[in-house]
Structure 1
């Protein structure tokens, strides 16, 4: 019953975001201490100007325009504005207002995968229809010069496209990347790499000889290489604000995209009334635009961790593919070779034995727990430099790198998951890690040799990644989420050369293609498949496409074209 009333109200909702900051006047201090709010109105005829007067009362030192931050006009009516807590409460008391709630900070939920899904290069395609599909991506922006977004061989932009290229200075769109907008900065250029990675996963071109320092070498491509891309920058760093997310939805829907991929979410689930992704996606669904969202990376916290709960959103979990990146550690006396450590190691140590040091024994002045974990203020740089550090948790990697370590050995908290880090690192099982500790403690001059990563086949794939968020959602327990799983572990895709592949700011490496894991990576896989299905069924509704994909269980692009009853 509650869900029905929500749908009825949202259908005629106007969205208002109230972001509190100061302007001159009696309530200046209150505004400085305020929060950001989102409010929804029952009637589309309600405007900012008709509602803000009774709220601000006689505070004449601030003009009405001083309150306005953002205006949403293209796909739904709404605005972002500055108010105090008291003014927000007053607005919430109006009968025309459905809800008022704080603005929130959303987080990013950071080649072979398409073959693994059965969508290889020889699969049946509808090339003409595919070139008419527009994939919208709400993320950190995009790197337009990447080969994955070249328009070589592309014809004119689809006639239905109503968007623009507003990427900022020195940013150029083309007939592949047909549109870009920046909602969190002056430029849509991707300075983090995340948005470039997700966009190329969904609809990037075929790029031969792509790899990460020789690892995962092959043809990098998206699910629909002939489709067009529109990028909406709604995040800066790893943070994405509610008001920018709503602005991205407002533009993407009006621009004429066919579907929207959203690889971001809250770390803690909230009610649908307070979720701008759910609100924006509802308006998209009304206009026939399918929205896909990453389920979240909080699976290790247990059940009720999924943050994408709206029934009109296709929520995507992360699963493995049939390849693993593994590494080897050979201990100095040849006593033990560990073959099942996980690593994306691009570094060569020239097959030399490197001295081992344990964080517990090279501490400056830390307690035992912090020393074992290699906290940044714990390591003695003189004792760590040019050595391999043993740290009980992966969080010690940056501290070891900053201390001058050549490598890191730790135990994994997440199984079957490799990381790109700024030095030669490997994660081991607790059993194997304890063996290394035993070797270190029983040897006068312990040493180890680190070998370069290699790819092996995972016969157990696909399995849901342990980090992938789980059902049920605490606010909508009757709807089981996520809806489907797709590859989200060790995914190679295009990357921004403005960012280091490890996201460590002092890492000097720059790459065109990077390996990343997360439900952020699985979401654009499903976006690519949804676009592929749409090329054969252009008139299917978002619900029909969603049903067709879910009918296949673990995502199967070819079967989704003709799934049976949807």
Structure 2
């Protein structure tokens, strides 16, 4: 049994191009932050019974593909993730023969592909038959915030699960308000309640308009110590000031987070109720209870922090590609750190933790890709990606007003993805033609491909983004315009040898879609058939979306269609 456990991680390397390590970091592949352990166990952790965070989320913890092996390439440290280290890790992973690369890392803003080390590394992995699964980013819900945008990699948004963690606030008058956090503490008694705006650290030059946000050093320690502080936003100052608890206000409270002290987020409406109680009561008190679990009937929907499209680099390629669970995920945690990573105030060292992020969604999609590959070992990275996208479950635009810019093709469905019926396949030259058509110079093209002989022929420079064999269809234009685009696509039969697929179009008012031919027939596995999609869209202020589905009576091969105003 020990031999099996020890062979779960079959290799581990670390990278630091300048050889200078931040103070406190360990010069080894060991995870001292928790993030790597968490994401790796989501993708491929073995089944463990009775896993929990102090009783929260109790049950069996298991990765998506528990039989898979893990090779670790540590590229990030407490201060940064260097481009050179990212590229070196990609090279080693490719040389080591990994099947899928899972990279829950991204920049704060999008870069051109030839300036993006992750995009360059993912291109090299694609050349070698390896799909790279990326997190979409945590800068939502603002538009155009997705950072991992390369069409040869999979960009994953974070969706909710059917369980959520709530943390109640009980006031001295008996009123109870439901908040959101991962709170393992239980303040058994009522504590004095103060408002951050009333206790500024005046000696340090702060006033109430600043201390109301409870920013670092903004609170008067003598007036906060031993109390619960009501804050209009953050919590850092309450930790330093020695408070026993913090009540924060935020309407983006669809994910729960942990704090070094007893804390919770209330909606702004409930926060106002607490504020009113505080000012109407001579000696206001409160208590923050330990978190409890509740079901979520609205799940799955894309969480507010998940980065949104549209694509800032190539406006007519839809990103993110799809969504996967990334909210309130229980998974393994490094015992080289604490629950929150604050080693000075937080002494809780645990083997499992509950955190949220597109970093958690990425390994869920990685596991789904591994699952598909285990049944289809010869599938190309593009084919695996297509299988995941075209079988994804459509999501509600009512829950996510940004629609496909939030969830891409929809929520992953690994069971269906194993047998997608048809795939939109691509090879390296397809992406090279795409880059040439985007006007990339020979120099920039070679930066991405790593091939000193790469160049763009006349036929390649004439290539358009709409002819890239992508599993989604996107057009953009200026507001209040009518635009027509023609997409040339091909699909490869990976379903039944003899089959006929009929095109079904879903198109709202303002979107006209025509497919030629609308009926395609296959006589063998691996056979390709080409078709043309003509889309005419009336583009106003909001995006409009529909879908194309190829249906043979068994498989539903669905691609989203999106039209929007880019300027």
Matched, 1:476 2:314: yes
- 1:509 is matched with which residue? 348
- 1:392 is matched with which residue? 232
Q: How does 1:365-514 map to 2 (within 5 A)?
A: 365=202, 366-393=206-233, 395=234, 397-506=235-344, 507-514=346-353
Contact 1:293-1:314 at 8 Å conserved across structures: yes
**For residues 522 and 371 of structure 1, what CA distance do their matches in structure 2 show?**
35
Distance verdict in 2 for CA 1:224–1:521, change over 3 Å? same
- 1:560 is matched with which residue? 417
C-alpha offsets along residues 113-137 of structure 1, whole Å, 9 cap, x if unaligned? Answer: xxxxxxxxxxxxxxxxxxxxxxxxx
**How high is the TM-score relative to the length of structure 2?**
0.68
Q: How does 1:340-351 map to 2 (within 5 A)?
A: 341-350=179-188
SS in 2 for 1:246: helix
1:252 to 93, 96, 120: 93
Distance verdict in 2 for CA 1:190–1:359, change over 3 Å? same
**How high is the TM-score relative to the length of structure 1?**
0.68
- 2:127 is matched with which residue? 286
C-alpha offsets along residues 294-322 of structure 1, whole Å, 9 cap, x if unaligned? Answer: 0101113x211111111100000001001
- 2:198 is matched with which residue? 361
**For residues 483 and 151 of structure 1, what CA distance do their matches in structure 2 show?**
39
Matched, 1:261 2:102: yes
Contact 2:156-2:358 at 8 Å conserved across structures: yes
SS in 2 for 1:540: coil
1:221 to 62, 65, 74: 62
- 1:99 is matched with which residue? none
- 1:550 is matched with which residue? 389
SS in 1 for 2:293: strand
- 1:135 is matched with which residue? none
Of residues 360-369 and 537-546 in structure 1, the stretch that sits farther from structure 2 once superposed is: 360-369
Higher normalized contact order (CA 8 Å, seq sep 6+, divided by chain length): 1
Of residues 451-460 and 177-186 in structure 1, the stretch that sits farther from structure 2 once superposed is: 177-186
Report the alpha carbon displacement of residue 503 of structure 1 after superposing the two structures with TM: 2.1
Distance verdict in 2 for CA 1:304–1:151, change over 3 Å? farther
Report the alpha carbon displacement of residue 333 of structure 1 after superposing the two structures with TM: 1.4
Report the alpha carbon displacement of residue 535 of structure 1 after superposing the two structures with TM: 1.2
Which stretches of structure 1, 4 residues or more, deviate above 3 A after TM superposition? 150-154
- Could you tell me which runs of 5 or more consecutive residues in structure 2 were left unpaired when the two chains were aligned: 22-26, 393-410, 424-567
**For residues 385 and 415 of structure 1, what CA distance do their matches in structure 2 show?**
26
Q: How does 1:203-214 map to 2 (within 5 A)?
A: 203-214=44-55
Aligned residues: 392
Report the alpha carbon displacement of residue 406 of structure 1 after superposing the two structures with TM: 0.9
**For residues 383 and 414 of structure 1, what CA distance do their matches in structure 2 show?**
29
C-alpha offsets along residues 67-99 of structure 1, whole Å, 9 cap, x if unaligned? Answer: xxxxxxxxxxxxxxxxxxxxxxxxxxxxxxxxx
SS in 1 for 2:182: coil
SS in 2 for 1:346: coil
C-alpha offsets along residues 402-432 of structure 1, whole Å, 9 cap, x if unaligned? Answer: 2111111011252211111101101000000
Contact 1:398-1:504 at 8 Å conserved across structures: no
Of residues 471-480 and 197-206 in structure 1, the stretch that sits farther from structure 2 once superposed is: 471-480
**For residues 149 and 275 of structure 2, what CA distance do their matches in structure 1 show?**
44
- 2:12 is matched with which residue? 180
C-alpha offsets along residues 320-345 of structure 1, whole Å, 9 cap, x if unaligned? Answer: 001110011111011x2113x10111
SS in 1 for 2:37: helix
**For residues 212 and 524 of structure 1, what CA distance do their matches in structure 2 show?**
20
SS in 2 for 1:236: coil
Contact 1:179-1:231 at 8 Å conserved across structures: yes
C-alpha offsets along residues 501-530 of structure 1, whole Å, 9 cap, x if unaligned? Answer: 112231121111111111011000100111
Matched, 1:243 2:87: no
Report the alpha carbon displacement of residue 284 of structure 1 after superposing the two structures with TM: 0.5
C-alpha offsets along residues 477-496 of structure 1, whole Å, 9 cap, x if unaligned? Answer: 11110101001111111111
Q: How does 1:266-277 map to 2 (within 5 A)?
A: 266-277=107-118
Report the alpha carbon displacement of residue 152 of structure 1 after superposing the two structures with TM: 4.7
**For residues 387 and 470 of structure 1, what CA distance do their matches in structure 2 show?**
38
2:362 to 508, 518, 523: 523
Report the alpha carbon displacement of residue 367 of structure 1 after superposing the two structures with TM: 2.3
1:317 to 139, 157, 160: 157
**For residues 421 and 153 of structure 2, what CA distance do their matches in structure 1 show?**
21
SS in 2 for 1:239: coil
Report the alpha carbon displacement of residue 285 of structure 1 after superposing the two structures with TM: 0.5
**For residues 252 and 413 of structure 1, what CA distance do their matches in structure 2 show?**
41
C-alpha offsets along residues 192-244 of structure 1, whole Å, 9 cap, x if unaligned? Answer: 11111111110011111110110001111110111100000000026211111
- Could you tell me which runs of 5 or more consecutive residues in structure 1 were left unpaired when the two chains were aligned: 1-149, 155-173
